[in-house]
Amino acid sequence: AVDGVNGVTAGGSEGVTGQTAKSQGGKGSVEKSGAPMRMESRDKGPPAAEGKQQIDSAPSTPVNVLFQGFDDATLKRYSGLVTSLHGEATLGDKAAHIDIAKVTHFVVNTKVAGGKRTVKRSMKLCLAISVVQNIVTEDWMGACEMAKQFVAVQPYLLSGSFSSDAKAAASWSFDATEARVRRLAGSVLAGRSFYLALDKDSKDKGLELEYNAVIRAAGGVIQGKPNASSGQVIVVSSDAARRTWAPWLSWHHVTLLRQDHLLTCILRQQLDLSTGLLS
């Protein structure tokens, strides 16, 4: 299962699905507070390059920022900062309702727990990792506030290894640097067809649109229910839905894949059909 509500909810007002905070002519909620931005809970990434070098290579295209993992107060503050810098903050929690093609920057709240760097494996992260070029840590927001403009992302890109925390329903890990390199080489699910067989009696059924969005963003195609004469298809399901996919176990053109394993493959940007199989 996805972490946290099956891990979809990143918290707080991110649940305002698909809304966009637009620029307010240079004035945002950030200007109303003289308090410095709080950064103590995040995972500290690589050191930032200094001042002018960042600013010289700042983004020249319209900036649209999506967030994950922040509480209401922090999300409001960061959204205000983005609009005060003449960008747009996309607020939303449901992957299926996010226009991910518009998003230029995805800011992720990372933490260190038990000596491990962790990040929530949400559907939003799985959606963004296949599309958004600039996936950054919270430090980027602090650098933008200090510079009073959007700065270059290179020192703040999500990099290195991350894994599930002790409370996660399933254990997983991925390397964000390797995933970024693989994504540039091509879409991880390109040329693959999928059918979702989620358990109708669990919360997973409500995630069907989310999985559809994530699979399509990664280059996959959603098809109808397989039959004996259909083409190659990967059926995404769980043990709980065994009664649905059990008749297909003997069909050589059907690969039965655990839904949580698919999400890990997308995070890694590497489809592994040697493990994570249902049987």
Q: What is the CATH number of the domain that holds 51?
A: 3.40.50.10190
**Domain end call among 167, 184, 201:** 184
User: Is residue 262 in a domain?
Assistant: yes
**Domain end call among 145, 165, 184:** 184
Q: Are residues 63 and 157 in the same domain?
A: yes
Name the residue type at position 53.
Q
Q: What is the pLDDT of residue 219?
A: 98
Residue in 18, 14, 25 with CA at minimum distance from that of residue 5: 14
Q: Are residues 175 and 225 in the same domain?
A: no
Range of 252's domain?
188-268
Q: What is the pLDDT of residue 170?
A: 80
Predicted TM-score (pTM) of this structure: 0.79
Q: Are residues 192 and 174 in the same domain?
A: no
User: Is residue 279 in a domain?
Assistant: no
**Domain end call among 134, 157, 184:** 184
* β-pairing verdict for 134-137 and 116-118: unpaired
pLDDT tens, the chain, 279 aa long: 455 433 333 334 444 334 444 444 444 444 434 444 444 444 544 444 444 344 445 566 799 999 999 999 999 999 999 999 999 999 988 999 999 999 999 999 999 988 899 999 999 999 999 999 999 999 999 999 999 999 999 999 999 999 998 777 788 999 999 999 999 999 999 999 999 999 887 777 779 999 999 999 999 999 999 999 999 999 999 999 999 999 999 999 999 999 999 999 999 999 999 999 999
Name the residue type at position 136.
V
* Span 125-143, pLDDT tens digits: 999 999 999 999 999 999 9
Residue 92 DSSP one-character state? -
Q: Are residues 249 and 213 in the same domain?
A: yes
Q: Are residues 33 and 132 in the same domain?
A: yes
Q: Are residues 172 and 34 in the same domain?
A: yes
- Which residue shows structure tokens 């506030």? 145
Q: Are residues 165 and 263 in the same domain?
A: no
Q: Are residues 26 and 153 in the same domain?
A: yes
CB 174 within 8 A of CB 122: no
Q: Are residues 206 and 258 in the same domain?
A: yes
Which residues are CB-contacts of 82 (< 8 A; sequence separation ≥ 6)? Answer: 21, 28, 63, 65, 88, 89
Nearest 5 degrees, angle CA 124-CA 127-CA 133?
110
User: Is residue 276 in a domain?
Assistant: no
User: Is residue 56 in a domain?
Assistant: yes
Q: What is the pLDDT of residue 47?
A: 44
Instruction: Give SS3 for 134.
Output: strand
DSSP notation for 201-267: TSGGGGGHHHHHHHHHHTT-EE-----TT---EEEEE-GGGHHHHGGGTT-TTEEEEEHHHHHHHHH
User: Is residue 7 in a domain?
Assistant: no
Q: How many domains does the chain have?
A: 2
Q: What is the pLDDT of residue 59?
A: 60
Q: What is the pLDDT of residue 17?
A: 39
Report the C-alpha gap between 262 and 237 in whole angstroms: 10
Report the C-alpha gap between 11 and 14 in whole angstroms: 6
Q: What is the pLDDT of residue 67?
A: 98
Q: Are residues 169 and 99 in the same domain?
A: yes
